[in-house]
Amino acid sequence: MSDAQNFLKQINNPFKLRLFLLSKLPSAFFCGVRVLFADEEKCVVTVPYKWFSKNPFKSTYFACHSMAAEMSTGVLAMAHLYKRNPPVSMLVTRVLGDFTKKAVNRTSFTCEDGHRLKEAIEEAIASREGKTITVRSYGRNPEGEIVAQFEITWSFKVKSKS
């Protein structure tokens, strides 16, 4: 089993994911953001419409959507970086979101750019220079309608030895 598959096995375990969220991303934990599915190519992250994630306008707060969209891309990047040698840092450098429909129930964000993220990471390692890539995540309601879409720009850079 590859390192990426080992990471994804942990992420796909609901108990281990909740522990990770509680310790590393408590705001996502309390908002109810969860990984529904993840493999090396695709990740689906959900955010519910509930008291902790809604805004005064009776829809899901944009920041909760942003968390779920970013996580759907970040899980894929983390899978390809897990236990890498040399180690590579990752950082969000830009977020662009479009909201097309009022979100009044669970929203599922899907990113299918795992192969592109892996290629960017490999290029950063090979060149020893920073590499940026913009990937997309689409948020859909239970009826399959797009309610939001995000472009997340990630930067990858081989960590310097200090």
Answer whether residue 162 shows pLDDT above 70: no
What is the arithmetic mean of pLDDT over 96-111?
Answer: 96
Give the residue from 107, 82, 83 showing the smallest Cα distance to 97: 107
Answer whether residue 117 shows pLDDT above 70: yes
Alpha carbon distance 79, 14 (integer Å): 16
Answer whether residue 146 shows pLDDT above 70: yes
Q: Regarding predicted confidence, which is higher, 89 or 2?
A: 89
Q: Which two tokens stand for residue 50?
A: 């509930």
Report pTM: 0.92
Contact by Cβ (8 Å): 7, 38: no
Which domain covers residue 31, as residue numbers?
3-158
What is the arithmetic mean of pLDDT over 114-141?
Answer: 96
**In Å, how far are 3, 83, 114, 135, 154 from 126, measured between CA atoms?**
19, 17, 18, 21, 17
Alpha carbon distance 72, 136 (integer Å): 9
Alpha carbon distance 137, 149 (integer Å): 6
Q: What is the CATH number of the domain that holds 64?
A: 3.10.129.10
What is the arithmetic mean of pLDDT over 54-79?
Answer: 93
What is the arithmetic mean of pLDDT over 40-55?
Answer: 92
Q: Is 96 helix (H, G, I), strand (E, B) or coil?
A: strand
Give me the number of domains the chain comprises: 1
- The dihedrals phi and psi of 68, each to the nearest 5 degrees, come to -65, -40
Beta strands in 112-158 (DSSP E): 131-140, 146-158
Give the residue from 123, 141, 143, 148 showing the smallest Cα distance to 133: 123
